[in-house]
Amino acid sequence: MTATCLTRAWRNGVLTDEGFDLSEVADHLRDPEAIVWVDLCGPTRELLFELADELGLHELAIEDALSIHQRPKLDVYESHSFLSCHSVRVDVEAAVLIETEIDAFVNSRWLITVRHDDGFSMDPVLHRWDQSPELVQHGVHFLLYGLLDVVVDAYFDVVEQFDDYYDEVSAGLFADQPLSAEQQRNWFQMRRALVRFHRLVVPLRETVSGLMRREHTSVSDALYPYFQDVYDHVLRVTESADSLRDLVSTIVETNISLRDYRQNQVMKRVTSWAAIIAVPTSITGWYGQNIPYPGSGETWGVITSAVLVFGGSGALYVLFKRRGWL
């Protein structure tokens, strides 16, 4: 994938330039009243280290940004902070969680975001920033808030999709038609997707909490309620994910219980019919012996055996029917 770059610059909360080249970042930062945002999608190692030399990014943060499958976290360095989070969406048809890692280098003068792929669009983030231009004057942390707000709000859509999916699953549990192998595979894959989603959401709670600690960042009092709102949203998503995991466990246990119940019902029917069939088998076997017996060669003997066959079988059928075995 070819690396792409988005840039913006503000001065005293007013957008002054956008779409400029990376070589002009230093020119904008010479103005002490200016802040700069740079977004890199699929950057090369050389490009990131070139930017690191210019802005003084820590080498460990660079290595984290180049690695994939980072867990959500917040690392604090001398001149900047490094934050990692994930944008996610779920494909219910394919039963897969699609995630895009978003890393951010945060300084009081600049925000550098790094995306590993274009699975997450920055357009909603730009729209969020443009909605509240008066808050941009509070600096880079408003830009970071806008990014986190868009990412976390998308989690609610994912939770809703999982919720709708498991509502359908719950409704189909008591259907007479047993689950096909494809349905069982889909269940398993969706359960794995939910577990992965839970693992991405829970650490983000500590990440946002770290941003709100005064000793880690310089979030202004005006922006503190906004980060508190993001934190509350993360808590709600975490609680929803926990509830969904409990629901999935209940569904699995219920499905196993229903499967055992259906197997018992089948065994009852098979056993009942085997007992019914055993009656005529035993009687005809007795009367079929090649020896003299009472009623042998007599009409009343035939009538007696027929009465025993139909009477015994009928009595067992009525008994099993009353007990619900047939």
Give residue-wise pLDDT tens across range 222-266.
Answer: 888 999 999 999 999 999 999 988 888 777 777 766 676 677 777
Q: Is 109 exposed, middle or buried (0-12, 13-18, 19+ CB in 10 A)?
A: middle
Nearest to 55 by CA among 7, 132, 134, 110: 110
Pairing of strands 110-115, 34-41: parallel
pLDDT digits (tens, 9 = 90+) for 172-197: 776 666 667 777 788 888 889 999 99
Nearest to 92 by CA among 27, 24, 189: 189
Q: How far apart are CA 141 and CA 74, in angstroms?
A: 14
- Residue 219, pLDDT score: 77
- Residue 104, pLDDT score: 94
Coil, strand, or helix at residue 121? coil
What class, spelled out in words, does domain 4-258 have in CATH? alpha beta
Note the pTM of the prediction, 2 decimals: 0.78
Burial 254-267 (b: 16+ CB within 10 A, else e): ebeeeeeeeeeeee
The answer to whether 294 touches 301, Cβ cutoff 8 Å, is: yes
- Residue 230, pLDDT score: 94
- Residue 89, pLDDT score: 92
- Residue 234, pLDDT score: 94
- Residue 296, pLDDT score: 62
Residues of the chain with pLDDT under 70: 1-2, 174-179, 214-218, 256-258, 260-261, 276, 279, 282-298, 300-302, 305, 309, 316, 320, 323-326
Q: How far apart are CA 224 and CA 179, in angstroms?
A: 50
What is the DSSP-derived secondary structure letter of residue 175? -
- Residue 203, pLDDT score: 92
**DSSP letters along 276-316, please?**
HHHHHHHHHHHHTSSS--TTTTSHHHHHHHHHHHHHHHHHH
Domain ranges of the chain: 4-258, 269-322
